[in-house]
Amino acid sequence: MQRPTLPPVVYAPTIAIEGATRIRMHEMRDGRTALFVYSAIDRLQAQYGDDAGWVLLGVDDLQRAFEQAPYDLLLLDRVLHPQEAGR
């Protein structure tokens, strides 16, 4: 199976934790950590809401994000399940 190609930049949701803005990670049912990224801002907003925080990331930025907070999965244009939206 071939890996899907990422666009040159993606939008990642952010969350405020202890006064700092961080990239929002999701814990999957199997315990793995996932970073959900979106190919367009309207796709991110459809999942997290119009007021959701976000950051624009290129490939190098994704690598730096991984180095700061490792994740197991990188998922593009992921539709949130209702129980994931509040995490």
In a domain, 71, yes or no: yes
Rg (CA), the chain: 12
User: Is residue 32 assigned to a domain?
Assistant: no
Fill in the DSSP letter of residue 79.
P
Supply the range of the domain harboring residue 73: 1-16+37-79
Return the DSSP state at 25: E
Q: What is this structure's pTM?
A: 0.86
Using one digit for the tens of pLDDT, what is the confidence trace for 67-82? 999 999 999 999 997 6
Taking CA 39 as the corner, what is the angle to CA 80 and CA 68, rounded to the nearest 5 degrees?
80
CB atoms under 10 Å from CB of 54, counted, come to 18
Q: Is residue 59 part of a domain?
A: yes
**Taking a C-beta distance cutoff of 8 angstroms, is the pair 35, 71 a contact?**
yes
Number of domains in the chain: 1
- Specify if 22 maps to a domain: no
Residue 34 host element (H or E): strand 33-37
* % residues pLDDT > 90 (the chain): 82
Is 26 inside a domain boundary?
no
Residue 70 lies in a domain: yes
